[in-house]
Structures are given as C-alpha cells and as structure tokens.
Structure 1
Amino acid sequence: MRATKRGRHTAVAAGVGLLLGVLALGPALAPGFVLAYDMVFVPHPALSEATFGLTGMLPRHVPSDAVVAALSHLAPAGLVQKAILLAIFVLAGASASTLVPGERLLPRLAAGVVYAWNPYVAERLLLGQWALLLGYAALPLVVTAAARGDHRRLALVLVPAAVGGFAALAVSGLTALVVAGRRGLRPALVTAAILLLAALPWLVPSLLRAASAPGDPAGVAAFAARADTPFGTLGSLLLLSGAWNAETVPGGYGGPVTAALWLLVVAASIAAYAGGGRIPGLTAYLRGGRALGLTSHARGEGVPGPISYAPGGRVPGLAVAAVVGFALAALGAVVPGVLRGAIGLWPGFAFLRDGQQFVAPLAVLVAAGAGRAADRLPGWTAPALLVPLLLLPGLAWGAGGRLRAVHYPADWTRARTAVAADPGDVLVLPWAAYRSYPWNGGRRVLDPLPRFLPARVIVNDGVRVAVSGGRDIGLAAEEPRARELDALVRSGAPLTAPLAARGVKYVAVDAGAPDGRLAGAERLVAGPDLTLYRLPGAVPANSPHIPRLPVYIAWFITFATFIWSRRVPTSNLEKRSLPKES
C-alpha cells in the first residue's frame, strides 16, 4: 500500500510539473518552432552522417539530433519539440518529489516545484540547452539509484541524460560517480562502466575524429560563470544561477529584494537538508507550533500533535556531489589560470569551461531540503509551493515572450527543395555561428541551416562572446571544413571559383546578397530571407569521414545496455506466500 501511495504522489507531482511547463512555455506551445540560442528544431529532420557525428565535427548534438529525427518520423517535428520541453518539467517535478522520504503529498510537491522552477532551469532554457535540461530533469533519480547501488535502475534512469548527449551525461555522470564512490571502489567502477556504455554514441566519433579536438583556452573567460545577482559570482552560483550569457537572465531576476529572498530559501533548504528536516535556529522558534497551528500528522497517522523533528534520511554522497559540482562551477571564475593550463595539457578539459551547468547536484540538494523542511513545517507547505514562482516570475509565459514559436520562411523551403534535387556541400554566409533573424523576432539562435538543408552545410561554428570591458572573445572554428575554408572566406577575395574548387556546390546567404564575391554563380532562390547560389564547376569534396562501423557498433551496445536496464522490478512490494488453510 505504501508503494502504491508513493506512486500516486509521484503521478500528482508529474501533473504539477506539466502545469509548470505550460505556465513556463506559454507562447512556445503554439504551432511552429521555438528557436533560441542552442535550441534548433526543424521540420522533417533527416538522419544523415552529421546526425551521427560522422562528418568529423565534435558530436555535441549526438545522439539528441538522432532521437529527434526518429521521433519526427512518428509525429510532426514541432509537436516533438513541445513534447520534449514539457517532458523536462514533468520529469523534473516527478523525480524531485521522490527525494522526500515522508508519506505526505505536499512536501513532495514542494520539492518538485523548487526543482522544476528555479534560475538554473530558466537560464538554461533561455540558452536553448534542452538536451542538458533533459538530463537535469532525471538527475534526482540518478542520485538515488547510485546511492542504493542499483545498477540496472541507474542505467535506466540515465536514459534522459544519454539522449541529451555530452553535457547532460557529463553532469549526471559526475554526480553519479561521486555518490557511488561513497559506497566504495567497486560501486564506483560499475557506475563508471555504465556511464561509459551510455556515452558510446558520442564518445566513439569523438575518439575517431579526423581533426584534433579543439581546446581553445580563450573559452575559459568566455564561458566562466558570471554574477547576475548582488552577491557576486559565487553567490549567484549558490542561488543556482550565474550563467555566462547575460542575455539569458530571466526578466526581473537578480534584484536586491528577490535575490535576498531566494537566498533565504536556498539557505533554509540547505540547512534543512543538513539537519535532516530541521532548520537550525528556526526550529526553536517554531517549537510552539500549536500556537501557530503548525501541527503535523506524524508519518500520516494519529491525532494532530506537535511537529516531529525526527531527522529524515539523507542521500549518502549527495552533499559531497553538490560541493564538488559547486567547485567545478566556480573554477573558471575563481582560478581561470588553472583551467586554462589544464586545457593546454589535454583539450578534453574544455568541457569544464561552461562551469555553471555543474551546480545541478546542488539544485537536487536544495529541492530535497525544501521538501523535507516543508514536511517538518506543514503550515508552511502551501506557501512553499508558490515561493519559487513568486521569486522568479520572469520564467512564466515563455520567459516574458522570449520563447515564442515561429515558422520558417518560404525562402528556406525553396532552398531545401533545390538542394535536395541536386545535393552538394553548402557554405553559409555571413560567416558566423549565430543569427538574429527578423522572422524570429530578432532572437539570437544557432544557424538552423545545417539541420534544415539535406546536405553537408558548412558554417563558422567559432562562437564570439562579449565579455566585460566591451571586448569580444572569438573562439576557433571546430568544424573541419570551416577551419579549412576560414582564411578564404575572411580574405575578402572572390569566392565563386575558389569555393567550387574546394568542393562547395552552393552558397546560402541570409537576408540578402554579398557584395559581388559570388560573381558568375547561378542564383536559384532570391528572397528577403534567404538567397541560394549554385557554383559552376564544383568538384566533389574529398573530406575525411569517420568510419561508420565502429559508430554503429557503439550505438548497438548502448541500445543493448538500456534494454538490459529495463529488467527492473516494477514494484517494491515483496512477494509472500499465503498461509496454508488448515
């Protein structure tokens, strides 16, 4: 019965998460596609070499693009995007609710609301990092599975992070390893093996990548955590914010009053978690709970009586994971020289540049503490459900309209038809990674053409980031073809013949034509939103590709691992034999 009741509570928490998702997304749920920074969905996405990371670029989009493409064969891609975004809130609310050990519903809902509606979710959503948030949503389940040493269940609950790809699995993997390490060396090694199997779809193409993995140390300053509250960088990270991009701070967040109140919520939640549900200092004040009406049905039974302060069960290793994650989040801001040196020794350390993403385990701890505090102070549970929404109203209704569904222009559709009829490599101008299209309300987005056109699309994926002092930091391009053609495109020289000689068949120009650099090219599509040129005499590109067989084997192994993980008990009830009749 207890397991059934907890299951119902989890279902209710999932429903609350769905309501929060609808409230947060608002206009993003209208027909069309939401395009914001790294969030790029397109109609009719194809399963191509790029989808599986076979073109030599870093497979950051693996396997998330492949999963989206596969789902888009079952439902329209616009609906797939909305379902994924809503699933983040549903899963976050449901998974965090399981962190509260008591039997009462409202404390579980309080944990779910705090976990699904906070600055971390808001800033990462505005950054368009839905794949990272997918792993974040399931992180509480990863924590509990790793703490219990339940390796089958760990593999199962890692599926959202595995779908999210590199960043999501890095955050979940770090947390799982730290938590499992508290149980000993063997659980940590088994956890590491499971993580390795889950990472194979993007790990194998990364290791086979023809070009060396870039590790530009300039990215440390570009992506280090920044202060978006009056409490500095470390204080902002403690509040689960501090993302590197100032444009993704939700409206109204970071003011002195709301930031101070949110700091109190976070501090009280951490104290409650550390005290097993008690808030040191506050408990003495509230021991006269009868006068305030703060009484509780201890463990859901008996007559109302004084609040019970029996410590709740804490997840072994979660506090350590939160501390480790916070330290990594602060690394680029506090000791950037150390991180730059590490990247110089091994480019793989570049995954630590975007440090703020590693405060995710701290968010798990805060949610658990909030739920346990609400469990001990029932009179405060209902207000606790509203506090996150009141302190972060800027996330509501598509973050104040900043997340809004749009439709791709007709020019883009005509260009896709032309390229599909005669495939070949496409180079995109202007030579920059991000665009601010008028038809997207001027909102900045990673160029969607590589996913939109049915061909290999060459863009300059070297990101430029504005930092303090009015400076820009430009990172080197990572895509092998972009690195090969970078000097030519930047030279200002005519492009038609040189690009054709290097295997480029088309040039797509956003919102207008270049100034005479494509003389002699055939204009196939000419419109206000896109111009497409075909270059005469283009030769087939001779670009190195990653061997397919190892990648396909990696996918098979990962898929088999998740099939194995499905063999988990569906109930916590023990099977007992009935007594024999006499």
Structure 2
Amino acid sequence: MRGAWTARLLPWAVGLVAGVLALGPALGRGFVLRYDMVFVPDLSVRGVLADADGFPRAIPSDAVVGALSSVLPGDLVQSLALLAVFVLGGAGAARLALRLLSSADGPTAGTAVASVAAGVAYVWNPFVAERLLLGQWAVLLGYAGLPWVVAATARLAERSPGRGLAGLVCALIPAAVGGFSSVLLSALAAGPVALWRRGPRALRWWARAGLFAAALVLVSLPWLVPSLTAGAVTDPRGVEAFAPRADTPFGVLGSLLALGGVWNAGAVPPGYGEPVTALLRLVLCVLALATWVWWMLRRDRPVFGTGLSVGAAVGFTIALAGATGAGRAVTSGLIELWPGFGPLRDAQLYVAPLGLVQALGLAFVVWWAAGAAQAPVWRVGTGVFAALLPVVVLPGLVWGAGGRLEPVEYPDEWVRAQNEVAADDVPGSVVVLPWSAYRGLDWSGETTVALDPATKLFDRRTVWNDDLSVGTPDGGTVVVEGEDPLAVQVAGVLDPDPETGMPRGEDLAAELGALGARYVVVSAPVDNGFWSEGQGFEVVSEGSEMTLFRVPEARVKADKPGITGLEVTGGLVTVGAIIWSVGRSGSSLVLQCPGPRAGRSTRKEIPT
C-alpha cells in the first residue's frame, strides 16, 4: 500500500514543489506581463474569437482562459495556468520513469528517487526557463503534456481502438489548450512511437497511425478551422530572426544540446551561460543522453524508446538546421511555397522531445546510483543529490527567475476603458496605439517588455501592429511582417510616426470608420496629444495611462461580428471529443495509468 501511494502522490508532489520554487512571486495576486504572456482582467471569449483574422495562434488558450475568467479572477487563472505547466510536466515525467523502473514488487527507494530526478529534470531546464521568460506559457503547457501523450500512444498497441483513441485524446488535452505549436510538438514526440511500437497483440502500424492522426485532428479543430480561411501570410524573414543563438560558451550546438539556444537574449535566465554552470549543465545532458543510448541497447529498454528517440533526433535536426545558412534557406523556401510551414521558423522549439529523453536518461542514472530498497544510505544520498542537480546547475530559474516574474495591477483607467467599450452595442473594432506590438510598460513598476495588453483587453476585434522587430547578433534589426491583412490597411491610414508610433494621417475618424473601427485607444502616456485634434473623434475617457476615443456611429461601417457555423462546429467537436475521451477511457488526465513498463514483459490490458 505504501508503494501504491508513493506511485500516486510522489510525482505530483515533485511537480508542485518545482512549480512553487520556480514561480515564487508569480503566484501572488496581480498579473505577470512579459513578452507573449498577457493576461487581462475579465478576458472576453467573444473578443478572442473575433481576433481570428490573422493566424489563430492564441484561440484555444485564450478561449480557455476567457471561460475560466468568467468564474475566477483573471490573475488566479494565470497562476493556475503557470503552475499547471510544472505540475503536469513534472508528474508526467516522474510517473513515466516510476513505471519503467519499478519491479513487479512495486517501487523501491531507488525508483522513487529516480522518478524525482525525471520530474525535476523535465521541468527545470533552459527550455522551460527561456520559454517561460518569453511568456509562451501555452507552448509550455503542450510541452508538459508530452510524457502523457507518449505513454498514451504506446498504449495504442495494447488497447481496443476506441479505448486507445479515448486515452490519447485525453492525454492531448494540454496540447489542445496550448494550440498549434503544442500539437506539433506532440506529433513530433509521439508520432514515431505510434509507428514503431511493437507487441504480440499490437494493431497494425497504419491503424495506430490513423488513430494518432485522428486524435491530433480532433484536438486541433478550434485553431485549424479558422486558419484555413484566415488569409494570413507568413514572412520568410522570420527564419533569420528566430534562428537559434548561442547562449552558452559552447556555441549553438552545445546550447541546443543543453536545451537552450533561444533566439531572444532577453529570455535567458539570470546567470545562465556562466562557464562553470554551463559546463556542468552540458556534462549532465551528455551523461543523460549517453545513459539513454545505453538503455536502448538493453533487452529491458522502454517499449516506446525507439520512437521517442527518433522524434528527439528529428527535432534536434530541425533545431540545428535553423542555425545554419543552408537550413534557413530551405525553411524560407518552404514558407514561400506554403505559409503553413511558418511554425518551422522558431527552430529551437523542436528540442522539446529531447528534454523528455534527457529526463528519462537522468532517471536511469539516478536509479543506478541510488540502488535498491536496501541500499546503503550513502547510495540513496548520492541519488538524491543527482536528482537535484538540474536545480543546482540552473539557479536562475529560482523564485520567479530572480524576480523577473513579478505580478502587477492594471491601472484604473484601463479597467474603466474596458467597461466603456463593453457597454457599447454599436459594432466595430478597436485600433490600438501606439502602433507598436511590443513595448515597455512603465506602469508595471520595473519597465517590462510585453505585448501591449490593450490588444486583449476588449470584448471585440482589436487591430494592432503585429509586425515584430528582432535584433540580430551583428547589431542590425530584422522586421518580420505581421499576418493580419486588416492591420496593413489600418497602418496605411494611420501613417504612424516610426519614433512615437502615433498617427500622422488626416481625417482619421472617417478613414478608420470606413475600415470598421469604432474605437481608438492610446494605451500609453503621450505628450503630443494634439494629434487627435480635428480628427473627428469623440473623447470617451482620458487619463495619464490610457485615453479612449470613439468614432461617431454615423462614420462606422462595420457589421456585427459573427462566428461561422464551421468554426462553431469545430469547437464543439473538440469539446465533445474531450468529454467522450474522459468517459470512454474511464479516467481523466490526472488518473491515467502512468504508461507501459519497459521490456517485453509489459502487462497487457484486456479490452472491455
């Protein structure tokens, strides 16, 4: 019984402790605003769905946040979302290692410590730290689900098709919330597992592949359907802007091998890249990979080992290709051929499956170091020390990345403007000024670079400058053009000053109203407020931090926004599939069995 409770509770404790230690102040009241991570009070689901004219990256995650924000405070929803990354990821990797390394008699001290090592290593690494500092919490939620997806995919060979599909859809819930990048990572990590899995009663490879593809499509419909009609374009220059960069003394190759190498220098955790800690981190990663390879050569290797290894190798190859001129040229050519190849721009993202490989490899090292249940205390102590090494070699993630994840409160003027727009029944979009996507938020205390929160503040379509300026290592700047066609038209009317981001155009109320704009919001203190004089706007609210202008109703040519029946159907199918998967598999994500054991002695389940 003690072993059973260890198997159930220990993995979740690992993820919870790691999350609290890493997030620290970010779990307090207020909103953490950093780069892509923008949560607002009372996020509107209607506003989320109305912003689908570009590539609908944030539809699933923002829709879920909006739904939760209708019953919980928005800052609490953010805290739960961030904590879920560590809890689900740490528990998933720990449960997988515990299942693989436990004997028929149940878990021992060695396997318990090894599972702790897997959970800690999977959520405490440069990939998680850098993506967290980039604000890409939705991507990390999909990353957290990878151990669950790999385990569920491996079980496709042992279950009836209906129950196998249900278990896989259930495991894909984090990816469904995370959106397209999360689904791509799940396909990369677990797709080869579906093809390589073997067993005396295994389904044929094409049947497993079909079930896997069906599960991916079912959870992708909320973003897949609107993307087919969005008319979005993808700028190939993003390949150069988002190329992996060296963030350690060991170049791009060493940085990627250590699960780092993100393109944004502002997302590197404090102290990361120092020679001593970077060397220890690299040695730890090489040791974990070498151990994984040795484990793959044993007869008791994990049944999903070959497939996961292939997925990790392919992902690492994509990441490494993004760091070479030839690789970037090929990717740019593919994007010019079809914008759907756009997700390949951020090549470093695809080292994610390698993170799971390294976590399981380290677990095997710790399992060997800690020994069996009756091992001497010094061996168990050695295993515990090894399990905590990921934290030791990456101290910059501790307590909100050294205070970089501090929550702040929105000024009253922002909330007042949000309420004013919500009370208006006249249709029309909101144009967000200054005409710059990312900027420093002075009212947040220490100036923080983030996507302008006004782009998500209102319950209607917002139009903003979705171009992205990225600095290059040689000191230059690459401007990656945005994906929203309407933003291009609005920019032509505004003729924004490149220095201030404020308009220089004339008769703006009439011109913007003709494009369907009802409001113009200035979400920053602006000294040259005279720009709005004589433009035909009505001042709704005015303050030092936000000013809201309204276009007279007679000048607004906008229809009431609606959602197509196809988009509604897609969302309902995904929600229905998730509800069905929980009922059909007889478990939620939390209660799923940890996964298959290693070797040929895997216990088979009798389909019911």
TM-score, normalised with respect to structure 2: 0.85
Structure 1 residue aligned with 2:65: 68
Percent identity of the aligned residues? 44
Give 1:276's aligned amino acid: W
Offset of 1:73 from its aligned partner? 2.0
1:191-202, aligned counterparts within 5 Å?
Answer: 191-202=212-223
- Aligned ranges 1:82-121 → 2 under 5 Å: 82-100=79-97, 101-102=100-101, 103=107, 104-121=111-128
RMSD (Å), alpha carbons: 2.3
Q: Which amino acid aligns with 2:467?
A: G
**1:310-349 alignment to 2 at 5 Å?**
312-313=301-302, 315-316=304-305, 317-334=307-324, 335-349=327-341
2:119 maps to a residue whose letter is: G
In the other structure, the counterpart of 1:501 is 514
Q: Secondary structure at the match of 1:217?
A: coil
Specify the code of the residue in structure 2 equivalent to 1:133. Answer: L
- 2:293 counterpart letter in structure 1: A
> SS at 1:507's partner residue?
strand
- When structure 1 is superposed on structure 2, of 497-506 and 106-115 the one drifting more is 497-506
Distance of 2:510 and 2:573 partners within structure 1: 45
Q: Is the 8 A contact 1:496 1:519 kept in 2?
A: no
Look up the match of 2:172. 158
1:123 aligned residue (121, 130, 137): 130
Q: C-alpha distance in 2, partners of 1:7/1:162?
A: 30
Q: Which residue does 2:431 correspond to in 1?
A: 427
Q: Is the 8 Å Cα contact of residues 273 and 314 (structure 1) preserved in structure 2?
A: no
Distance 1:111 1:6 in 2: 19
Report what 2:596 is aligned to: none
Question: Secondary structure in 2 aligned to 1:506?
Answer: strand
Question: 2:581 maps to which residue?
Answer: 565
1:42–1:452 contact (8 Å) kept in structure 2: yes
Aligned position for 1:133 = 140
Q: In the TM superposition, what are the counterparts of 1:81-480 in structure 2 within 5 Å?
A: 81-100=78-97, 101-102=100-101, 103=107, 104-149=111-156, 150-183=164-197, 184-209=205-230, 211=231, 213-276=232-295, 312-313=301-302, 315-316=304-305, 317-334=307-324, 335-378=327-370, 379=379, 380-422=382-424, 423=426, 424-440=428-444, 441-480=446-485
**1:460-539 → structure 2 map (5 Å cutoff):** 460-490=465-495, 492-494=504-506, 495-513=508-526, 514=528, 516-520=530-534, 521-536=537-552, 539=555
Deviation (angstroms), 1:28: 0.9
Does 58-67 or 515-524 show the bigger shift?
515-524
3-state SS of 1:465 partner: strand
For residues 142 and 49 of structure 2, what CA distance do their matches in structure 1 show? 19
2:570 aligned partner, one-letter code: A
Alpha-carbon distance change, 516 to 503 in structure 1, aligned in 2, over 3 angstroms: farther
Match of 2:104 in 1: none
| 1:277 and 1:369 in contact (8 A); partners too | no
How far 1:207 sits from its partner (Å)? 0.8
Q: What letter matches 1:563 in structure 2?
A: I
- Equivalenced residue count is 541
3-state SS of 2:470 partner:
strand
State the 1:538 CA deviation.
5.3
Q: Is contact 2:510-2:555 (8 Å) kept?
A: no
Moved beyond 6 Å, runs of 4+: 543-546, 571-576
Cα deviation for residue 191 of structure 1 reads: 0.6
Give the 3 Å change call, closer, same or farther, for CA 225–23 of structure 1 in structure 2.
Answer: same
8 A contact 1:501–1:538 mirrored in 2: no
User: C-alpha displacement at 1:87, in angstroms?
Assistant: 1.3
Rounded to whole Å, the distance in 2 between the matches of 1:110 and 1:527 is 52
Q: CA 1:575/1:487 → structure 2, altered by over 3 Å: closer, same or farther?
A: closer
CA contact (8 A) 2:11 2:95 kept: no
Please state whether the residue corresponding to 2:483 is helix, strand or coil.
coil
1:27, 1:565 → 2: CA distance?
A: 36
Distance verdict in 2 for CA 1:516–1:538, change over 3 Å: farther
Inter-partner Cα distance in structure 2 for 1:465 and 1:490: 22
- 1:129 Cα offset (Å): 0.7
AA matched with 2:352:
A
List gaps (5 residues or longer) in structure 1.
279-308, 577-582
Cα pair distance change 1:473/1:54, threshold 3 Å:
closer
Query: Are the aligned partners of 1:38 and 1:127 in contact in 2 as well (CA < 8 Å)?
Result: yes
8 Å contact kept, 1:208–1:546: no
Aligned-residue offset at 1:311: 5.0
Q: Say if 1:540 and 1:451 are closer, same or farther in 2 by CA, change over 3 A.
A: same
SS in structure 1 of the partner of residue 539 of structure 2:
strand
Cα distance in 2, alignment partners of residues 487 and 344 from structure 1? 24
Cα distance in structure 2, aligned partners of 1:575 and 1:477 = 50
After TM superposition, give the deviation of residue 10 of structure 1 in Å.
4.2
For residues 322 and 543 of structure 1, what CA distance do their matches in structure 2 show?
A: 48
- Structure 1 pair 54–463 and aligned structure 2 pair: CA distance change class (3 A): closer
Amino acid at match of 1:527: G
Counterpart contact for 1:312–1:372, Cα < 8 Å: no
Structure 1 SS opposite 2:443: helix
Matched with 2:600 is none
User: What is the SS of the residue equivalent to 2:522?
Assistant: strand
Kindly state the Cα deviation for residue 545 of structure 1 after the two structures are TM-superposed. 6.5
Q: CA deviation at 1:391?
A: 0.8
Specify the code of the residue in structure 2 equivalent to 1:533: F
Paired residue for 2:375? none
AA of the residue aligned to 1:374: V
Q: How many angstroms apart in 1 are the aligned matches of 2:154 and 2:441?
A: 47
Aligned equivalents of 2:509, 2:604: Cα separation in 1: 73
Match of 1:46 in 2: 44
Deviations 1:422-464 (A, max 9, x none): 2542211111111211122211111111321233221111111
Report the residue type matching 1:141 in the other structure: W
Match of 2:21 in 1: 23
Contact map agreement 1:33 1:81 (CA 8 A) in 2: yes
Alignment check: 8 A CA contact 1:56 1:545 kept: no
Residues of 2 paired with 1:176 and 1:548: CA distance? 32
**TM-score, length of structure 1 as denominator length:** 0.88
Q: State the alpha-carbon separation in 1 of the partners of residues 210 and 393 from structure 2.
A: 41
Deviations 1:129-150 (A, max 9, x none): 1111111111011112212324
Q: Which amino acid aligns with 1:207?
A: L
Q: In the aligned structure 2, how far is the partner of 1:54 from the partner of 1:445?
A: 19
